[in-house]
Amino acid sequence: MKFIPKTLDYELSPYTGLNRQSWIEAGEYIMEGIFKHIKDFEDPVVIPRTEDEISYPHKNADPKYRLAEEKAEIFEGLTRSFFIAAPLMHCNPQVKAGGYVLRDYYKNQVLRTCTSGDKCCAGTYEELQESTGWADPFRPFQQTVETCALVICLWISKDEIWNTYTKEEKDTIAKFLMSFAKANTVPQNWRLFNMLDLAFLHMEGYEIDKNIMRDHAQAILSYYSGNGWYRDGYGFDYYSCWAFNVYAPLWNIWYGYENEPYLAKKFEEHSNELMKTYPYFFDKEGWTNMWGRSGIYRNAATSAFDGNMFLKDSKADAGMARRISSASLMQFLGREDTFKDGVPTLGFYKQFMPLVQGYSCAESPFWFGKAFLCLHLPADHPFWTEKESLGDWEKLGAKDVKETTLNGPGLCFTNHNSSGETLLRTAKFTKKEADKHTLWNYGKISYNTRFPWESTPVFDKKESEYANEKRSIITGDIESQQYVLKELFSDRVLNVNALFWSGEKEGVLYRRAYFDYNEDTENCWIYGINLADFPVENGLIRVDKHRLFRRPVQFTLGSFGFPDNGTTVIEKQDEKGNKAIILKGKDSQGKDKQMAMTIYYGWKDIDIVKSSGTNPDSENSIVIYGITSFEHQYDASEPYLMISQIITKDSLEDFSDDEIFSIAEIHNSDSAGTGSFGDTIITLKNGRKYTVNFEDMEGNLSL
């Protein structure tokens, strides 16, 4: 059952109707769903599993490691649900769920979790190392993540829980926290967990090692890449927003402002820098894009707004921040398929295992409760009192596109006012080709807030005839919003596993994609594509140039995944022979959807594949794809470019022919006219011109 707010205020919130009381109602709704599964006051927050192949506790794990995982699951259920419960009880100390007073339940469970020997104890760092035989003295445990959530929630509910413990009980909890605070951690965003543990203990009068704190803090600062974003491990994702830009501001007010003013000033500057552009990462309706790992955390991405408001000098636009936070909340809570038996699924909407990592358990989605930290802000805070704002969306003309390019993290996002969608183009990413899960999360050449990414389409073998030859198109030959290369002399299929950034020039974004990229091979021996794209009213036009060292090869390029709940498929061709396929239908919620893909120069044909089990919205889906081949080992008379377009909207109103076939002229300035070098000038039917030239991008590539 989806959440339906009882309290609505369209005067204060003209776009979403939600106010502070609406958020409280949403939190209580979620807590009631969780507590349906807690049959006794002494039971921990552990909910029934809906799968056991990917998420932990892993059924085939070594028993000693499985025990640590079972303890972690109990702890994760407690702390992540506490993200919602703590601000609720701060607003109303008598709030209940499942008939239990939440304040009483969490006070009991927190103490038990931190008490050695209790069956709900998560285990201290030393105890977990003992149980695993100290196989790795530097091993971190999931429990470190959850200690950070715990101290945040104890701080929020300080009057309701922490201050009601005896000195002895506080010491028990502090001893447990200290075991992780000073222990080994993962050298990425996890350092912030140790920092907040130490900061909380310091704030509560416990002695800490300030040198450990400073070492973690300087490392976090060193991960900063510009534009408000931090590099987390191998790439960029929402961890910059729901980790770095939430935890660092909290650390500032707990510890940094007073003890490390230089670091605190930097963290504040970075958060405020993020606020300059982050609102436009979301679409006009405020929806969150499905991109990067931990997609099951959903609207936790909005918690960076709340994090900024903890700062002394917050720069976030409160009315816009609340609108986006409320809209993203309802993006998920407003759908029945987000929940199963009252709790959020392992998915973005419905259960969707291609999204899920092995470090997640059934309780992991409660991380989206981090968005509810905004309830810690008092009722008279601007976040709750300012009128909702659309920001720059209000300034755009009906057909205008706002583009934001961030060179630091290698992100470019376009806000399309005609459709309300936001498209995200990313780079600075590499991973092993076999890790398809990560390639879907990071390696798509475009992400769309209204068409979440699709995993590899699964379909029956079919024969597709083109170029007077028969090629076999099978599962794996096509990916949505990714190029796939097939060596026609070996049938070896290669996927893009690295995206390099080259930046924007005269309205065109340049990147490079590599197939089966690895550091042991010189890049001239690796297949690649130079990517160039620019926005149009309802989507993007691509002007991409292959980098081949062997031929013959085949390329395919898939569209976004289209939810197939009864779809009309329309084929069109213009007077120049350019082909397009248009899909009209509805998503699983009954909302109108439309998409058109057009192929121009360099492509030989266009077709569709129907798939099942690969779309996060609907069980069945369709991917349009272009297909072409390059036959001769060395031949400048063959095309070098592959030019295509994808446009989308949440409407069944026909695209005009000028929108579907938006290119009036393509001019390649090289002597053979194939795009091998020099300028390619694209003239659109609306009169705009774009010049694509790849000759300067090599020296600007970054990863």
Instruction: Give per-residue pLDDT as tens, 656-696.
Output: 999 999 999 999 999 999 999 999 999 999 999 999 999 99
Mean pLDDT computed over 264-292: 98
Is 465 a residue whose pLDDT tops 90? no
Burial class of 420 by CB neighbour count within 10 A (0 to 12, 13 to 18, 19+): middle
Domain segments of the chain as ranges: 20-395, 401-700
Residues 19-53 pLDDT 10s? 999 999 999 999 999 999 999 999 999 999 988 89
Is 369 a residue whose pLDDT tops 50? yes
Position 449, amino acid: T
**pLDDT reported for residue 462:** 58
The mean pLDDT of the chain is: 96
Residues 503-549 pLDDT 10s? 999 999 999 999 999 999 999 999 999 999 999 999 999 999 999 99
d(CA 218, CA 94): 41
Is 616 a residue whose pLDDT tops 80? yes
Share of the chain above pLDDT 90, in %: 95
Q: Is 599 helix (H, G, I), strand (E, B) or coil?
A: strand
**pLDDT reported for residue 64:** 85
**pLDDT reported for residue 262:** 98
In which residue are the tokens 């020997």 written? 117
Please name the CATH architecture into which domain 401-700 falls: Distorted Sandwich (2.70)
**pLDDT reported for residue 468:** 38
Structure tokens at 236: 């960029």
Please name the CATH architecture into which domain 20-395 falls: Alpha/alpha barrel (1.50)
Is 464 a residue whose pLDDT tops 70? no
Enter the pTM of the model: 0.96
Mean pLDDT computed over 595-620: 97
Q: Is 254 helix (H, G, I), strand (E, B) or coil?
A: helix
Judge if 20-395 and 401-700 fold alike in CATH terms. no
Residues 109-132 pLDDT 10s? 999 999 999 999 999 999 999 999
Asked whether the beta carbons of 74 and 44 are under 8 A apart, the reply is yes
**pLDDT reported for residue 469:** 42
**pLDDT reported for residue 466:** 39
Parallel, antiparallel or unpaired: strands 568-573 and 680-684: unpaired
Where does the pLDDT of residue 467 fall: very low under 50, low under 70, confident under 90, or very high at 90 and above?
Answer: very low
Question: What interhelical angle do 191-203 and 210-222 show, nearest 10?
Answer: 140
Residues 185-233 pLDDT 10s? 999 999 999 999 999 999 999 999 999 999 999 999 999 999 999 999 8
